[in-house]
Structure 1
Amino acid sequence: MTPPPHPSPHPSPRLLDGQVALVTGAGGGIGRGIALRLAEEGAAVAVHCRTAVESAREVAERIRGRGGSATVLRADLTDEEACRRLVGEAADWGGGRLTALVNNAGVQPLRELPDMTAAEWRAVVDTNVTGVFACTQAAAEVMRAQDGGGTVTHIASIEAGAPAHAHYSASKAAVVMHARSAALEYGPWGVRVNSVSPGLIDREGLTDAWPEGVRRWRRAAPTGRLGRPEDVGDACVFLASRLASWATGHDLVVDGGVTARPSW
């Protein structure tokens, strides 16, 4: 009888071993799922927040508790200089390196177009688009100067328009187009830029707050369920890893198959 093979003394390397990542808006929800998945695959993670400091600290502590490396950084992403400082602080913490940026931070207020003010429009665009632009620009400069370049992943959305969501939907469409343009211009620098468009992601209290919407989603999704934050995190791990080394300028839809269903 042939004995079983001896286990390898060295486990297989994780997908992101040696990487240093910055995840914006990582204090909760999707951002938490992204940060945890990047850390599970070996990345040291800078956990960004604006006001959710305690939540961000909990994420960082959870990463450290699993043997990973994490720090918490604060910044207002509507401020261009704050974005640059944030990226610089993340790179300094990473020993001068930043290999992955995930632009997840965003806001999603509700306001119907007839009542929307320009200030309300700008508040969404400044966070969801301008912050993405400024963080990406700063990160690309760091990645250009290091061996191996780096990756940038924007979190967009499959939402193509809904009542009271015009500013949000427009901002997420802009994020997808920014990723495509940035892929073209930063590609020669060794920087890949992609976006991830999630569908409806579950969160605490969602079913109680929007029962009919959740029922409609589950009926429409071939997979029969809502998304989980880690589903988005898995997509970000893939795009930041060597497995996606020839993928750039792409929008990866993670929606359980909802957009594959005919609307007629």
Structure 2
Amino acid sequence: ELKNLLDFVLMVLRDFGFDEFEADLSTRPEKYVGDVDLWKKAEQYLASSLEAADLPYQLAPGEGAFYGPKIDIHIKDAIGRRWQLSTIQVDFAQPENFDLDYATSENTRRRPVMIHRALLGSIERFVGILVEHYAGAFPMWLAPVQATVIPVADRHQDYADSVGAALVERGVRVHVDGADETVGEKIRRAITQKHPAVIVVGDKDVEAGTVGLRLRGEEHEQRGIVLGDAVDTLAEMARPPR
């Protein structure tokens, strides 16, 4: 169970784009609850799980909670800073508090050991780490606004709205920018705000059912893309991992 939990934690963190990990294994403090032999066995299981995952770790003697040992997972962000995020905690106290037991295969009753986890730590802190890790340029599946649609002129607004609606129907988070500004100003704003995709529509697009598309990081806009093809491409790019 510990190995499965650790694999799940690392899978989630990798999905968010982190790929460098270290761990601390915190062991029995001076004041503790539970049996010493059970503590030692739990610490051995935690260490075995870390080794099976090929995860570098260091011991933190006496830093466990009074109710059980734990693993703390640290990630490194894009500029090499180390952040503690996930925790897998063994708990000897809560089964006692709730008087929990289970039936064994020998039809006897035994006290279980509880394992609880914090996948991301504080969600506010995790979001802050993500923002700094990506410098605001989130992968498309994670970006709050995944595509901005910009009409060249007021007469293209209805078509821009229909493009936005087609994307929303496929699950893409869209902003249709109908502000009374120049196209250049609106494109610069979308790029500055690091939106992954910028779509521009003008007269030829309205007539032909096409769009102009620029993906973040590309220098030039792709013109004359059939709307359905653009929607398919962006919907696929916007899909979360797995």
Please confirm whether the aligned pair reaches a TM-score higher than 0.5, indicating the same fold: no
Give the number of the structure whose residues are more often helix, by fraction: 1
- Structure with greater contact order relative to length (CA < 8 Å, sep ≥ 6): 1
TM-score by length of 1: 0.24
Point out the structure with the larger strand share: 2
Q: Give the TM-score normalised by the residue count of structure 2.
A: 0.26
Q: Is the radius of gyration larger for structure 1 or structure 2?
A: 2
